[in-house]
């Protein structure tokens, strides 16, 4: 179901702004987490099994986010927004891990 079918102009604009903000945040999280992971790798901090798994999980999350961001939603779609929100939360967990390693 498309949200746009059920929204007034103000609500639709707010949803578009939220979607753009989520997209920007997802891109920024991908970029920053990649930088953190690269720095951790150069320090030799990714030798543990947990670090290897976290690196793999981040790579999968990053790939999913980039694929989702490649799909430009001309209209606001509930499932697109929900996937973006879920990926942003997941990317925040990855970023947190690499910040603290």
| pLDDT tens for each residue of 48-79 | 999 999 999 999 999 999 999 988 656 678 88
How many whole angstroms separate alpha carbon 64 and alpha carbon 35?
18
| pLDDT beyond 90 at 91 | yes
Which DSSP string corresponds to 11-40?
HHHHHHHHHHHHHHHHHHHHHHHHHHHHHH
Query: Is the distance from CB of 54 to CB of 94 less than 8 angstroms?
Result: yes
Q: Give the pLDDT band of residue 41 (cuts 50, 70, 90).
A: very high
| pLDDT beyond 50 at 1 | no
Strand stretches in the chain, DSSP E: none
Q: What is the pTM of this model?
A: 0.85
Residues making up the chain, counted from first to last: 101
Q: Where are the domains of the chain?
A: 3-100
| pLDDT beyond 50 at 31 | yes
Q: What integer pLDDT is reported at residue 42 of this predicted model?
A: 97
């Amino acid at each position: 179901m498309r949200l746009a079918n059920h929204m007034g102009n103000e609500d639709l604009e707010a949803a578009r702004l939220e979607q753009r903000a989520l997209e920007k945040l997802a891109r920024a999280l991908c970029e920053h987490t990649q930088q953190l992971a690269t720095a951790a790798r150069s320090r030799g901090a990714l030798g543990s099994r947990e670090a290897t798994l976290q690196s793999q999980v981040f790579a999968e999350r990053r790939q999913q986010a980039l694929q989702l961001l490649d799909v430009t939603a001309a209209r606001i779609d509930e499932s697109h927004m929900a996937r973006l929100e879920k990926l942003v939360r997941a990317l925040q967990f990855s970023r947190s891990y690499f910040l603290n390693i």
